[in-house]
Structure 1
């Protein structure tokens, strides 16, 4: 497995692996196309898109088997990042692909000088990457009912992380 930036030629395979990865998750069982697929399309077209933070894991034939993205978000107007969606082709799940992608995108964010990454996800999975309930970093989730599933990771080497209410890139609000 190799990790690299997403290339324009990867888009069809990234869409397919995202559809497969999310087909049975979060109410997508009754959808022809999981909501994460059009979300990715909309994110690519919005001002919050950061090409350097759209990464793929590829197999030996350079075919995408996993994808992660961070997009521009804010905390009370201060720049931050929203991580997700993160998708891994079903036949490659539970093999370290998702973990490698999270490590890589957080490292790339830190290298860019970002101060905070937030996500909505399973605490047992993301906790091992330094994410914790957002309120521990003084960040309020966009939706109160997300509770412990809304998590943040402060990248303190780049200065103090913002505190306040988190807001994802525009397309997330259209879900």
Structure 2
């Protein structure tokens, strides 16, 4: 199933809010607050409008993805990267490749923006299909206690993470 992937516009916000709420409503590993996180991130300095994307099918928004700026810090060294959170698809459209389309499109758009890596906290059997590898392989840690197999990173350019290691620093909006 092919959807049209485009940049999210302000008039999409309420539809995207509802979509995210529905997509995560019955998910076991969710705090069911993802839609509120997106609202906060849109108003933050980590928001990258070109990486807030919707998937449309038959003029209906059926999917959404957001990548925001994060840092990987090791002492005084800081490296800019992106966090993938969330990717959401309406339940009726799940398992049809829309999430994959969103992820691939977001990855390709990052190339023009100069980012080198994306961090995700996600399903250990899903994200490796898109080139994600365990973050621990690079010496990258997340600042909260989660299973290591769910902490993953993808290099967007060859050797983008060469010499990069440390703790991921998320925007304060992830915690409030």
**TM-score, normalised by the number of residues in structure 1:** 0.90
- What's the CA shift for 1:112? 1.3
Partners of 2:29 and 2:102 in 1: CA distance: 24
Instruction: Return closer, same or farther for 1:156/1:14 CA change in 2, 3 Å cut-off.
Output: same
Match of 1:128 in 2: 129
More strand, by proportion: 2
**Aligned residues: CA RMSD:** 1.7
Partners of 2:161 and 2:125 in 1: CA distance: 26
Partners of 1:70 and 1:45 in 2: CA distance: 14
- What's the CA shift for 1:125? 0.5
Note the residue ranges of structure 1 that are not aligned, 5 or more in a row.
none
Which stretch of the first structure deviates more once superposed, 41-50 or 149-158? 149-158
- What's the CA shift for 1:66? 0.2
Size of the alignment, in residue pairs? 169
Task: Kindly indicate whether the alpha-carbon contact (under 8 Å) linking 1:21 and 1:89 is maintained by their aligned counterparts in 2.
Answer: yes
Alignment of 1:59-138 (within 5 A): 59-61=57-59, 63-76=60-73, 77-138=78-139
Partners of 1:158 and 1:13 in 2: CA distance: 38
Partners of 1:160 and 1:113 in 2: CA distance: 13
More helix, by proportion: 1
Match of 2:49 in 1: 51
Match of 1:10 in 2: 12
- What's the CA shift for 1:8? 0.8
Note the residue ranges of structure 2 that are not aligned, 5 or more in a row.
none
Partners of 2:6 and 2:159 in 1: CA distance: 23
> Would you say 1:169 and 2:171 are equivalent positions?
yes
- What's the CA shift for 1:91? 0.5
- What's the CA shift for 1:10? 0.8
Deviations 1:45-101 (A, max 9, x none): 11101000000000122x210000000100003211000111000110000000100
**TM-score, normalised by the number of residues in structure 2:** 0.89
